[in-house]
Each structure stands twice: as C-alpha cells, then as structure tokens.
Amino acid sequence: MHEQAPSSTPPAGPKAKKPLDTVVKLALMIFVGSFALIWGGMYLSRPDRSIPPYSVGSQLGHLVATHVPPGTTDHRIETLLNRFRKVGHQTHDFGLMKIRPTTPDDAGSRYRRMLIYVFDDDGWTDPEMLAKYAAGDPAVVKEFDRSVRGYYRLQDEEEEGGIGPLPKAGELSAATRVLFKGHVTDALPAEPESEKDNSISPL
C-alpha cells in the first residue's frame, strides 16, 4: 500500500479581499458628495427664525410696503424693525432685506431715504393700494395708516422705528410706540441673548 504523497497546494485560507472597482469607488464618491451638497444647501438656505417671515408686497420710490403673517405679535415685529435698524447701521445695503434701491440715482447711497411699512394684512401691500396712498387718496389714507403694524424710517443718517402707525406732523398717537429714534452713526444697543441672530447671515 502506497502512502499518499503530501499535496503541494497550501490549505485554503481566508480569501483576500478584492479591491473595489474604480467605477464603484467613483459612484460612492458621487453619492457621498451629492448628500453633502444637499445637506449643505439645506443648512445654508434654512429660514432665519430670529425674525418673523416677511415679504415685500410693493415698492414705490422710497415707500416700501411689507407684510408678515396675520397674528404676528408686536414683539416679533419689533425684532424685524431692529433688523432693519441693524442693516442701516452696519451695511446700509437693504438689498439683503429684499428691498430695491430707494434712491438709485444718488451717488452717495442707494438707500438714502426710505420708509418701510409693516402690515399683517397683505391687501394693504398691493401696488395699487400703495399708489393710492402715495397720491393722498382720502378713501385709502386713513385706513392704510390705521392698519400699519410697524414702521422704519430712514432719512440720510436719521432713523426712527416703532410699533403702530407712523406719527404724522410730529404727533404721536396712543396706538404708536416709538422703539428707537436717532442716527445710524449711533452705537447699537446690545442685543438680548434670546434675540441674537442664530443664522449664518453676517447681519
């Protein structure tokens, strides 16, 4: 009986992992990169919750009619007015706040003169309504003024902002509360911790 000759083939061990195909690597990189781009885009475009959502309904020269959702509290409107104030002090570029230049032919500043009205009824921000108000239509002016929830006024370096209707001829009505009045060159007051802008916006 012959003895079996030892085999020269080594015993089967764990199989070596085959490196990923180049096409598979490329597909994985594209997948991960796309996910990162989508996540980054969502992060960068997330809404700024430190101010109420608002839209510019119409603009006529230096007059700007904006609206916030119905039922927006005075406190939330105050945060929006303070943001306008912050822009006036820091960059003076209200294009970031969705407002077209109000004095486009002025070489010194494209926003030298501006009056922003804030409503919580978008009917008052209709272009036709703003045109009638600017023309002094008596059937519109009284209710327009009464419906204003807040205002921000800028004239050269002087500014004013308040809750309620804009004071007329220096007369302050019981429905108006002036929040600030001064110059854009004045130092801004420190923001309360709860009202600091948590967005990535430089403003």
pLDDT score of 37 more than 90: no
CA 41 to chain centre: 16
Quick: pLDDT tens for 77-101.
999 999 999 999 999 999 999 999 9
**Number of residues that make up the chain:** 203
Q: Which of 203, 195, 186 is nearest to 49 (CA)?
A: 195
pTM over 0.85: no
pLDDT of residue 32: 77
pLDDT of residue 31: 75
- Could you tell me which residues are beta bridge partners of residue 162? 151, 178
Judge whether 121 and 67 are in contact, CB under 8 Å: yes
Quote the CA–CA distance of 73 and 30 in Å, as a whole number: 46
pLDDT of residue 133: 97
Query: Domain residue spans in the chain?
Result: 19-48, 55-188
Quote the CA–CA distance of 78 and 98 in Å, as a whole number: 18
Query: Which of 163 and 4 is assigned the larger pLDDT?
Result: 163
Per-residue pLDDT band at 195 (split at 50, 70, 90): low
